[in-house]
Homo-oligomer: A and B are copies of this chain.
């Protein structure tokens, strides 16, 4: 699929998934898009656990109460970062940016392959969710799951969210509040 078409089509999907599994070949292709994302000082800090074992998938799915896409996911991609990241330039680590760039590449890949997902982040940080899922996936104590992507074939129509206008967010040469 064309890049610009994919970018336009990508959206957060919280609806039901069809009862069709996601082949490993596609999951690998999605995660390879994440591996190809840029990272600060090429440190390639984000790691990934692809979850497609039915028992673990349903155990994670049962934890989420408000989101059909999480509850009916056919697979998950868990994105793992260090809890205390090393600095890679001056005093700075870029693990959050590295992870977000990888997630965006994967989200576009998910879209291009006909699947849908939603970027799960805040939910992982409450009620110990990241640590509980980390335990299921043998994630070491020094690391944590920063983002989780449910994957499946969308079964519902997508309702686009409200978007601000170009002129509310973009200016030429000088910032303007107007």
Contact = CB atoms under 8 A, between A and B. Distances in A.
28 contacts: A1-B3, A2-B2, A3-B3, A3-B109, A4-B29, A4-B33, A10-B36, A11-B38, A28-B166, A28-B170, A31-B166, A35-B163, A35-B170, A37-B104, A40-B119, A40-B121, A42-B162, A50-B171, A50-B173, A53-B172, A56-B173, A90-B125, A94-B122, A101-B103, A137-B174, A138-B174, A140-B175, A143-B175
A164 interface: yes
Interface string A96-133: 11011101110111001000000101100110000000
Contact of A109 (B7, B31, B96): B7
Contacts of A2: 1-3
Contact of A49 (B47, B52, B56, B175): B175
A2 B161 CA distance: 26
Nearest to A171: B49
Q: Is the interface of A mostly helix, strand, loop or mixed?
A: mixed
Counting every copy of the chain, the complex holds: 2
A170 B121 contact: no
Interface residues of A, number: 73
Q: Which 10 residue pairs across A and B have the least CB separation, nearest first?
A: A100-B100, A89-B122, A101-B104, A97-B100, A104-B104, A138-B174, A3-B112, A53-B173, A138-B175, A48-B170
Interface of A: 1-4, 6-8, 10-12, 24, 28-29, 31-33, 35-38, 40, 42, 44, 46-53, 56, 80, 89-90, 92, 94, 96-97, 99-101, 103-105, 107-109, 112, 119, 121-122, 125-126, 137-140, 143, 161-164, 166, 169-177
